[in-house]
């Protein structure tokens, strides 16, 4: 996911205001910080790769639990939960071509990394 989000650039900034390796929106990160017990979140926290990845991983895990489906969770990470909830309520698939491409790319990258790091991940029988 990090490769797709930021190309491993810890200083990445999007035109939409997303920050860091996991390309988190500041408001989303502030919510994560509050929900996970943080009390003094500042935007510069997202410049710390460890914090950025920790928050992004927590958020993705939250989305996986909410949607119980990897593609839907990835779509929500990219397009926002409100959009995904609206699509689901209307029994529609992903409505943004950019988000469909994002989900497909992340899943392809996941397969590439699983093959490349199979032994480190304990996937070599």
Among 5, 70, 92, 98, the active-site one is 5
Radius of gyration of the chain (CA): 15
**Catalytic residue status for 70:** no
Which pTM does this prediction carry?
0.91
* Region(s) of the chain under CATH 1.10.530.10: 1-68
The structure tokens listed for 39 are: 């009390």
Instruction: Summarize the confidence of residues 54-81 as an average pLDDT.
Output: 97
Domain at 1-68: CATH code: 1.10.530.10
Residue 63, pLDDT score: 98
Helix axis angle for 81-89 and 70-79, nearest 10°, is 130
Residue 125, pLDDT score: 57
Instruction: Summarize the confidence of residues 73-94 as an average pLDDT.
Output: 97
Instruction: Summarize the confidence of residues 17-30 as an average pLDDT.
Output: 96
Task: Report the C-alpha gap between 61 and 28 in whole angstroms.
Answer: 14
Residue 124, pLDDT score: 74
């Amino acid at each position: 996911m990090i490769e797709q989000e930021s190309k491993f650039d810890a200083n990445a900034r999007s035109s939409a205001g997303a920050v860091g390796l996991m390309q988190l929106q500041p408001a989303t990160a502030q919510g994560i910080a509050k929900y996970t017990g943080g009390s003094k979140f500042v935007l510069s926290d997202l410049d710390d790769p460890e914090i950025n990845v920790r928050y992004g991983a927590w958020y993705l895990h939250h989305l996986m639990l909410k949607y119980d489906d990897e593609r839907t969770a990835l779509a929500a990470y990219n397009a926002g939960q409100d959009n995904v909830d609206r699509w689901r309520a209307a029994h529609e698939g992903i409505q943004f071509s950019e988000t469909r491409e994002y989900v497909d790319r992340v899943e392809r990258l996941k397969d590439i990394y699983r093959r490349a790091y199979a032994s480190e991940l304990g996937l070599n029988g």
